[in-house]
A and B are shown apart, each in its own frame.
Chain A
Amino acid sequence: MVFPFPVLSSLIVLPLLAAAALFFIKGDGLVRKFTLAASLLEIVLALPLTAFRMGADFQFVERLSWVPQWGLQYYLAVDGISILMVWLTLATLPLCVLCSWTGIAKRTKEFHFCLLVMTSACIGVFTAMDLVLFYVFWEAMLIPMYLLIAVWGGDQRRYASIKFFLYTLAGSTLLLVAIVAFRIEGGTFSIPELMQRTFGFRFQILCFLAMALAFAIKVPMFPFHTWLPAAHVQAPAAGSVILAAILLKMGTYGFLRFCLPLTPAASEYFAPMMIVVSVASILYGGAVALGQSDIKKLVAYSSVGHMGFVTLGIFLFNQRGVEGALFQMLNHGVVTGGLFMMIGAVYERSHSREIKKILGLGKYMPAFMFFWGLFSLASFGFPATNGFVGEILVFVGAFQHSLLVGLLLVPGALLSTAYMFRVGLKLAWGQPSAAKEWSDLSPREWLFLVVPAVMVFYIGLAPSLFFQMITPSVDKLLADYDQRRVAVLDHVPANALAGLAGAVAPATKN
């Protein structure tokens, strides 16, 4: 569908314009209000997206030639998989502005500049349908995120920000080579067109590995996760929220958008490995989270576990698994985003992230405890919350796949219950209470917590709207995957992988 108005472009351009306009605005308060207004305007601009037809086709297509000599296009579109991520990004921006209203005192203008540029790049990542355009947004996003951590972060912000930058950039260098290889082999950079091509098995294996490295670091999957706790702990609240709610999703979005459709045979070949790594992430993330005394680190490690559910769901290749993965992506964004905003709120009162310094909030901050409890329940998948919907789907998918994988998930789910309860208990009833002097949630804090809280119940109780959005795309993804995987695997010689080591330089042999 070609929409008469370039909706997606305007969503990318508006934050950039607003960011540029910030230079002409004086006064921190005004900067905040202006950015908030821009972020709300952004949501208004996105309203045409509600005309999204529930189907698997790419919609709101915008396609222009960019660099014709190399076949680069400015090509934007959304389908059922990406539109959820776009909405998530849009909703995150105003919450980020609100939750850093008082927390960010220095260089306010630059801070909001980074937030706006970040949003623009994120929308770009989720809507780009040209591989190079995707890569442009994918990399462009690193710079504002780096600055968010490096300038407004905690004591070890330098270490954390450089680690974040190095890890993610190192991961994506080979992604660029894979992109070029797709272009040479498939004749185009356009993702929907490449989805129609069938590539040789060996080519798929190499491209899958190059892409999977980039995405696995971004997700992050065990053992590539070590940048995440550092970055989360040091980042300011808004930075953590963006990191958790949007950035991590880019990795799993990459798996869904590139690995499964473009390299189906390789995805199948590596699925056992990916499943093992996902289960390892779930168990490892949960176990380490249980041992944390720093509340931000705890939530960071819980992210590793939760994102393990997402990658697991993707590589189960069944309807339940992939739908569950998509729900988990959304849920993790809502819930972990909420938790990080709460940690930011409590940090403004306690100036410490140590759990033992923020004991016993329950008596003095009941509203705070209510939200914390709610997000905790959602985090470990309590029925009637959104976490339940995603987790149960992945569970069903896992048991459909094999009994062993299903059984391995059970301790993972138990672990997440354990660590959320452990910290919840201490926050609510721990002694001695640190909260005597602290005020309960302010109206502003209510505002930014109510939004995710509503989403927790909405997705938890009435997920059908979301099902309608994603199911056609998931159906198509899996149908294509099945068909094209078979087409390649039938022709793979038995010893195809024997020469894998020599495959790195296939063309040098001529």
Chain B
Amino acid sequence: MNLHPALIIPELFQFLLILALFLQSMGDGAKGPRPGRWVPLFAALGIVAAVAGFPARGLLFHDVYQVDALSQFFKLAIAIGFFVTVSNASRQPTLPENKRSDYFLFLALSAEGLMLLSSSTELFTLYLALELSSYSLYTVISLRARDKGAAEAGIKYILFGAVATALALYGLSYVLAGQHTTYIAELTGKSWTWANSPQAVIGLALFLGGMFYKLALFPFHFWCPDVYQGTSNETATFAATLPKLGAVVVLVRLSAFLTPGLEITTLLAWLGAISMTLGNLSALAQKDVKRILGFSSVAHAGYVMVGLVSGTAEGMAAAAFYALAYVAMNLLAFWVVSRVASDGRNLKLDDLNGLYKRAPVLAFALAVGAFALVGLPPSVGFIGKLFLITSAWNHGYNWLVITLAVNSAFAIYYYLSLVRHAYTEETVAAGSAEPDTSAFSLVGAGILSAVVLILGLLPSPVFDLAIAAGQGVIR
């Protein structure tokens, strides 16, 4: 085993950032440059580091840590997502100045955990990386100035997370007992039918529970709308996007042995179907924008399953691409939410009234985000969905594909109500905060909208990377 630093450039860079933030947080927070200023710049360099580390390939630490196309694809996505989320959080109105360095420290730690997660190819390593990313998030969820809802959200997130990870650990012991290994590469060769190894199947199902919790897939989704609603808009932006990337990368790795027809695969398909339907139907009744986006996350977690259960490299690639699309769309939607709620409040649908007049660029960006989340062309949401459907058709789960398609029709109503309030309601609700229309806000919205549209029109280059990642898992 040779530990070559060139193999872990993105992780090392992120570690440097963590170190710097740690040092700053030792003081009273008033000294030194303000984290809101320098962390986004540093995170931008992190993207460069991730690009530099992109071609790296290798196995580390007794083969528990694999640097391959899949992991580097996701690390790049995490680095970009991290940059956007910290930029978004840089002007957080509900965060006291003296807690900022701690706040960014934990966000950076969580992102580091996710980066480690995307390279883990052994279940214990995977578990540890998962815990690193989760624990850091537990702390930041409740960091919202004197807000009881945030405290409640934090507690809910911890309790849920504790139960889910306990289940995962328990499942892990069953897998180890049943298959006598925790290396994914070796697990792939084992039999995963119920008839041959029931213990391992139960164990795997429980272990997946830990991922479902991150992904907010039914039945581990209950925290999702509550936490989004309780925590600050900026923290919700992080919680809604990056952890899902981590969960998807693990599921893609595990999918190597989730071939169609297995009981566990069918279970995934069912959970996906229930999740998308339940998420969309629940979102219909919501009035709080973040709760809508929370249930929308639940639905999108279900969509990703469509690619995962197909058991083909295309399916894995489609799932990875869709995870990316999901993150792009949600970053856009949450960016608008954070900017419109310039005083850090929770947005109700009525708060969006007349947004087209008050902040035309933000209104347009919101419309792009909403229509992309529905899956309307020409956005990345549509093309991602098309890839999912195409990869999964005729691999045994056609009913799931049809469920996915029909779900777009359920979903349109609540996404449309975002646009409807922003564009057709004229009466501005009393006491609405003035949206932030600074250049920072508008440029961010413009760039993210452009990404959502351009990835939808010209998906080939990015999809090439995704397919390389998918082929690394399934040959």
In-complex Cβ contact of A70 among B356, B390, B395 (8 A): B390
**Separation of A315 and B356 alpha carbons in the complex (Å):** 46
Cβ contact within 8 Å between B390 and A150: no
Task: With A67-B459, A173-B405 as known contacts, state yes or no: A506 contacts B376, CB within 8 Å.
Answer: no
Cβ contact within 8 Å between B413 and A162: yes
Cβ contact within 8 Å between A169 and B409: yes
| A184 contact set on B, CB distance < 8 A | 390, 393-394
> A101 interface residue, CB < 8 Å from B?
no
| B412 contact set on A, CB distance < 8 A | 165-166, 169-170
Task: With A132-B386, A507-B395 as known contacts, state yes or no: A140 contacts B420, CB within 8 Å.
Answer: no
Q: Which residue of B lies closest to A162 (CB)?
A: B416
Cβ contact within 8 Å between A142 and B423: no
Minimal beta-carbon separation of B168 from chain A (angstroms) = 29
Task: With A69-B463, A135-B377, A507-B398 as known contacts, state yes or no: A169 contacts B371, CB within 8 Å.
Answer: no
**Separation of A69 and B467 alpha carbons in the complex (Å):** 9
Interface size on B, residues (CB 8 A): 39
Q: Which residue of B lies closest to A110 (CB)?
A: B356
**Separation of A67 and B395 alpha carbons in the complex (Å):** 22
| B396 contact set on A, CB distance < 8 A | 507-508, 510
| A504 contact set on B, CB distance < 8 A | 398-399, 402
Q: Which residue of B lies closest to A70 (CB)?
A: B390
| A68 contact set on B, CB distance < 8 A | 460
**Separation of A180 and B392 alpha carbons in the complex (Å):** 10
**Separation of A101 and B355 alpha carbons in the complex (Å):** 26
Cβ contact within 8 Å between B376 and A140: yes
> B181 interface residue, CB < 8 Å from A?
no
Cβ contact within 8 Å between B399 and A505: yes
Q: Which residue of A lies closest to B392 (CB)?
A: A180
Q: Which residue of B lies closest to A132 (CB)?
A: B386
**Separation of A194 and B130 alpha carbons in the complex (Å):** 48
Cβ contact within 8 Å between A176 and B405: yes
**Separation of A183 and B398 alpha carbons in the complex (Å):** 14
Q: Kindly state the interface size class of chain A when it binds its partner.
A: 35 or more
Q: Which residue of A lies closest to B413 (CB)?
A: A166
Cβ contact within 8 Å between B402 and A177: yes
| B183 contact set on A, CB distance < 8 A | none
| B383 contact set on A, CB distance < 8 A | 67
| A147 contact set on B, CB distance < 8 A | 423-424
Cβ contact within 8 Å between B460 and A166: no
CB-CB contacts below 8 Å: A102-154 with B = 110, 132, 135-137, 139-140, 142-143, 146-147, 150-151
Q: Which residue of A lies closest to B408 (CB)?
A: A173
> B378 interface residue, CB < 8 Å from A?
yes
> A455 interface residue, CB < 8 Å from B?
no
Cβ contact within 8 Å between A143 and B402: no
CB-CB contacts below 8 Å: A177-199 with B = 177, 180-181, 183-184
Task: With A139-B376, A180-B390 as known contacts, state yes or no: A508 contacts B413, CB within 8 Å.
Answer: no
> A296 interface residue, CB < 8 Å from B?
no
| B387 contact set on A, CB distance < 8 A | 70
What number of residue pairs across chains A and B have CB atoms under 8 A from each other? 99
**Separation of A137 and B395 alpha carbons in the complex (Å):** 28
> A174 interface residue, CB < 8 Å from B?
yes
| A170 contact set on B, CB distance < 8 A | 409, 412
> B389 interface residue, CB < 8 Å from A?
yes
Q: Which residue of A lies closest to B407 (CB)?
A: A173
> B382 interface residue, CB < 8 Å from A?
yes
Minimal beta-carbon separation of B323 from chain A (angstroms) = 17
> A357 interface residue, CB < 8 Å from B?
no
Cβ contact within 8 Å between B376 and A143: yes
Task: With A140-B378, A165-B416, A183-B390 as known contacts, state yes or no: A158 contacts B424, CB within 8 Å.
Answer: yes
Cβ contact within 8 Å between B420 and A150: yes
Task: With A67-B463, A70-B387 as known contacts, state yes or no: A174 contacts B377, CB within 8 Å.
Answer: no
> B401 interface residue, CB < 8 Å from A?
yes
**Separation of A246 and B424 alpha carbons in the complex (Å):** 24
Cβ contact within 8 Å between B261 and A510: yes
> A157 interface residue, CB < 8 Å from B?
yes
> B464 interface residue, CB < 8 Å from A?
yes
Cβ contact within 8 Å between A162 and B401: no
> B397 interface residue, CB < 8 Å from A?
yes
Max chain A Cβ within 10 angstroms of own Cβ: one of B376, B383, B405, B413: B405
| B460 contact set on A, CB distance < 8 A | 66-69
Using a CB–CB cutoff of 8 Å, the interface residues on chain A facing chain B are 66-70, 110, 132, 135-137, 139-140, 142-143, 146-147, 150-151, 157-158, 161-162, 165-166, 169-170, 173-174, 176-177, 180-181, 183-184, 504-508, 510
Q: What are 16 contact pairs spanning A and B, CB under 8 A? A: A67-B459, A67-B463, A70-B390, A136-B382, A143-B376, A146-B416, A147-B423, A162-B413, A162-B416, A169-B408, A177-B389, A180-B393, A504-B398, A504-B402, A505-B398, A505-B399
Besides A143-B376, A151-B424, A165-B412, 19 new A-B residue pairs in contact (Cβ under 8 A), listed by A number? A70-B390, A137-B377, A140-B377, A147-B423, A158-B424, A161-B424, A165-B416, A169-B408, A170-B409, A173-B406, A173-B409, A177-B401, A180-B393, A183-B390, A184-B394, A505-B399, A506-B398, A507-B396, A508-B397
